[in-house]
């Protein structure tokens, strides 16, 4: 009995003129021929995987943009607060009131 691995064929991209969605499967002559339904199923799975990857990439990009926007907002508020406190002059002219000493009267 001959032991052969039943690994799926590796997809190879076709030329750029045929478009990015076309994928050709290289099938070794020594292996069994794939049925049309099997090849169609493999294409369907690859298409679904490509859509999933694109969705995750889009989600990751949106998360990064949201993080940058929130970080920029927080930094802006912080810097504005520091600048505002630095410009306040009302405490510079503030003189502490003179304490009046009142004698305690014993009853």
**Domain coordinates in residue numbering, the chain:** 36-86
pLDDT of residue 21: 57
pLDDT of residue 53: 97
Alpha carbon of 60 to those of 63, 69, 73: distances in Å? 5, 14, 20
pLDDT of residue 85: 82
- pTM for this predicted structure: 0.48
pLDDT of residue 74: 97
Under 8 Å between Cβ of 23 and 6: no
- What is the C-alpha to C-alpha distance for residues 73 and 80, in angstroms, rounded to an integer? 10
Q: Residue 42 class from Cβ within 10 Å (0-12 exposed, 13-18 middle, 19+ buried)?
A: middle
Rounded to the nearest 10 degrees, how much is the dihedral formed by the CA atoms of 44, 49, 54, 58? Answer: 130
Q: What is the pLDDT along the chain (107 residues), one digit of tens a residue?
A: 444 445 555 555 555 455 555 666 665 555 788 899 999 999 999 999 999 999 999 999 999 999 999 999 999 999 999 888 887 676 667 777 777 777 666 55
């Amino acid at each position: 009995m001959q032991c052969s691995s039943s690994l799926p064929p590796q997809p190879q991209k076709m030329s750029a003129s045929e478009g990015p969605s076309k994928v050709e499967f290289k099938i070794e002559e020594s292996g069994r021929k794939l049925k049309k339904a099997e090849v169609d199923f493999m294409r369907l799975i690859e298409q679904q995987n490509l859509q999933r990857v694109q969705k995750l990439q889009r989600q990751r990009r949106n998360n990064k943009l949201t993080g940058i926007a929130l970080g920029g907002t927080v930094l802006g508020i912080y810097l504005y607060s520091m600048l505002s406190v630095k410009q306040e002059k009302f405490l510079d002219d503030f003189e502490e009131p003179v304490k009046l000493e009142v004698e305690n009267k014993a009853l």
